[in-house]
Amino acid sequence: SDADVLQKLQNNASNIELERGSYDAFVTSDEVKGASVVSQNYYGMTYYGISVSLDASGASALSDATEDLSQDGTSGQIAVVMDGTIIASPSVSKKIEGGKINISGGFTEDQAYAYASAIAGGRLRCSLSQTEPAEVGATLGDDAPVLVLAAFIVVSFVACLVAARRLGAAGGVCAEAATVSVIIALGILTLVARFDVVVLGRMELAGLAVTELCALVAGVRVAVRYRSERDAGASVRKSQQVACGHERNCLMGVAGVVLVAAVVAAHLLPGHVREFAVSLACGMGALVYALAVAVPTQLALYTAADVAKGAQDAQDLESDEDEDEQPAPKSGE
């Protein structure tokens, strides 16, 4: 009923604010079953929109409204309103049936995902009350990095205990590789989040989880190779060189390939996939560093006991041989 708003719509204005009570919605978020982001490429440019699915009552209302708007071959407009502001005004030239409509309004990628999430979520069933202001972090809060790091360290500690029982002292490399990789990756992600490239959300946590899993597997591979060389009779030094030589280099090569693939995916793919790719790229970069620097050092520290044990065994063997070579006491002595 606002003539100024109608005039602005006809002039293709954007972000038009509506006064409360000046309009009636023929479909609300209560009739929305789902909303998702769609994209199309035109001449090298990507345009984002929102695909909305309605339930039976919403589909019927949409069908009736679009039939009225498209009578006599004319074209009308639907106003998509969010929190009292028109975010899009798509034109309608025919009756829309089936309860599905695509909304295009020149959205950016971030706007499209935010609007789709809000439309699918519907109205917030809450009441308002005044409280003291407090700073909060994006998505998971400012304490998220600390909580995530604590959880991953606990997992690494448990993995260390299991690996140590199976592989001896060398098994500690598993937890070291995982802990170092996750700490570095989380630090890089926190820094990147400051520039609004990503937020510490579910996809970033999934990337960190994959990073820890890969780091644990890499640590196990190095420890198993060391243990197999020792069981075959190789010296501690030789076993360390073999485990941190060909085996480690192969693992670094695999992590490097995944790193490159994740960087490419982060540049080409949109939305949640891009966030996961960024997190995985940070994780694989951290894993390469851990394999190159932390793992050889920690393997040498963890297996230092093998050197001491080997020296003690050699000393005991020498003592036994000396006792065997002592002449037997003569009769009567």
Residue 323, pLDDT > 80, answer no
Residues 6+ apart with CB under 8 A from 183: 149, 286
pLDDT at 136 over 50: no
Task: List the domain boundaries for the chain.
Answer: 3-121, 144-305
CA distance 99 to 53: 6
Domain 3-121 CATH (choose: 3.20.20.10, 3.30.1360.200, 3.20.20.70, 2.160.10.10): 3.30.1360.200
Return the C-alpha torsion angle 318, 319, 324, 327, nearest 10.
120
pLDDT tens, position by position, 279-299: 889 989 988 988 888 888 877
Pick the more confident residue, 198 or 20: 20
Q: Where are the alpha helices (DSSP H) in the chain?
A: 3-10, 56-69, 109-121, 144-167, 172-194, 202-231, 236-242, 248-268, 271-289, 295-302, 304-325
Q: What topology does CATH give the domain 144-305?
A: Multidrug efflux transporter AcrB transmembrane fold (1.20.1640)
pLDDT at 260 over 90: yes
Helix (H, G, I), strand (E, B) or coil at 321: helix
Over residues 80-98, the pLDDT tens digits come to: 888 778 888 777 888 888 8
Question: Given this model, what pLDDT does residue 261 score?
Answer: 93
Residue-wise DSSP of 215-234: HHHHHHHHHHHHHHHHHTT-
* Sheet containing strand 32-42, strands side by side: 32-42, 45-54, 100-107
At 150-185, the pLDDT tens digits run: 776 677 677 767 766 777 767 777 777 777 888 888
Query: DSSP per residue over 277-317, as a string?
Result: HHHHHHHHHHHHHIIIIIHHHHHHHHTHHHHHHHHHHHHHH
What pLDDT does 332 receive? 53
- Give the CA diameter of the chain: 134
Predicted confidence (pLDDT) at residue 117 exceeds the cutoff of 70:
yes
Please, which pLDDT band fits residue 199 given cuts at 50, 70 and 90?
Answer: low
Task: Answer whether 3-121 and 144-305 agree in fold.
Answer: no
Q: What is the DSSP letter of 30?
A: G
Q: With left for phi above 0 and alpha for psi between -120 and 50, is residue 36 left, alpha or beta?
A: beta
Instruction: Provide the mean pLDDT of the chain.
Output: 76
Q: Given this model, what pLDDT does residue 258 score?
A: 92
26-35, 222-231, 324-333 — which is least confidently predicted?
A: 324-333
**% residues pLDDT > 70 (the chain):** 76
- Band of pLDDT at residue 254, cut at 50, 70 and 90: very high
**Confidence bin at 2 (pLDDT 50/70/90):** low
The DSSP letter of residue 247 is I
Question: Is the confidence at residue 320, as pLDDT, over 50?
Answer: no
Q: Which residue has the higher pLDDT, 110 or 317?
A: 110
Identify the pLDDT of residue 322.
47
Helix (H, G, I), strand (E, B) or coil at 190: helix
* pLDDT at residue 314 is higher than 50: no
Helix orientation angle between 202-231 and 248-268, rounded to the nearest 10 degrees: 170
DSSP one-letter code for 329: P
Q: What percent of the chain has pLDDT over 90?
A: 4
Q: Is the pLDDT of residue 110 over 80?
A: yes
N- to C-terminal Cα separation, the chain: 127
Under 8 Å between Cβ of 118 and 175: no
Half-sphere exposure of 47 (CA within 13 A, CB side): 9
Q: Which of 255, 213, 239, 257 is nearest to 296 (CA)?
A: 239
Give residue 130's pLDDT band: very low, low, confident or very high (50, 70, 90).
low
Residue labelled with tokens 């690494």: 156
Return the higher-pLDDT residue of 251 and 193. 251
Report CA 305 to chain centroid distance, whole Å: 38
- Measured CA to CA, the distance from residue 185 to residue 281 in angstroms comes to 9
**pLDDT tops 50 at residue 317:** no
CA angle 307, 309, 314 (to 5 degrees): 95
Confidence class of residue 45 from pLDDT cuts 50, 70 and 90?
Answer: confident
Q: Which residues are registered as beta bridge partners of 45? A: 42
Question: Residue 144: its pLDDT value, please?
Answer: 57
Please check the confidence at residue 135 and state whether its pLDDT lies above 70: no
How far apart are the C-alpha atoms of 1 and 205, rounded to whole Å?
48
